Amino acid sequence: MSEWIIDPDHSVAAFTVRHMMVADVHGQFNKITGTINFDPADINKSSVNLEISVDSVFTGIPKRDDHLRSQDFFYKEKYPAIIFKSTGTERTGFNSCKINGDLTIRGITRIVTVDVNFYGPVKSPFGETSLGFTGKLRLNREDFDMMWNEPMENGGFVAGKDAQIFIDIEADLAS
């Protein structure tokens, strides 16, 4: 089993949430750190520990980014990080697996399953050996006490409850 260090310069956690029941809003977290213990030949013994900085949220709209960092959503002052710790991994295909784990947002931990594809390892022209991981999952933000919303005339709400999460990670072999 090898340890891989998440490269924060080449990793991102993106999300999509429905806005006013008519359009999807996209955003991302630009700072992910952590480690992955992974051996493509023995995936079931793999583990993941990662941390996403809430301060790194970016949607392209500073006012919206500040609102997402506020107590209405991620509450950055009290909960500066989103944490994921795997509890089990199961191979589902040649380069795919499901990773079960504990996701903690705003101090609330829920069990989630992430569908993951992995690529590599490859040796870069700069000397490091790297692996790539792409993951996706769907969650209900209200499960993490992100309850802010505003009702609309048609009976809908400004912010959707469901969020699609997409994680792209590049990790380098620890020396």
CATH placement of domain 2-173: 2.40.128.110
d(CA 113, CA 103): 9
pLDDT score, position 158 = 61
pLDDT score, position 147 = 78
CB burial string 116-145: b at 16+ within 10 A, e below: bebebbeeeeeebbbbbbebebebebeebe
Tokens representing 46 are 């793999």
Q: Would you call the peptide bond into 62 cis, given omega within 30 degrees of 0 as the criterion?
A: no
Structure-token match 């583990």, residue found: 47
pLDDT score, position 19 = 67
pLDDT score, position 40 = 81
pLDDT score, position 20 = 62
| Residue segments in the chain with a per-residue pLDDT below the cut of 70 | 19-20, 22, 149, 151, 156-158
pLDDT score, position 151 = 66
* Global confidence as pTM: 0.92
d(CA 38, CA 32): 18
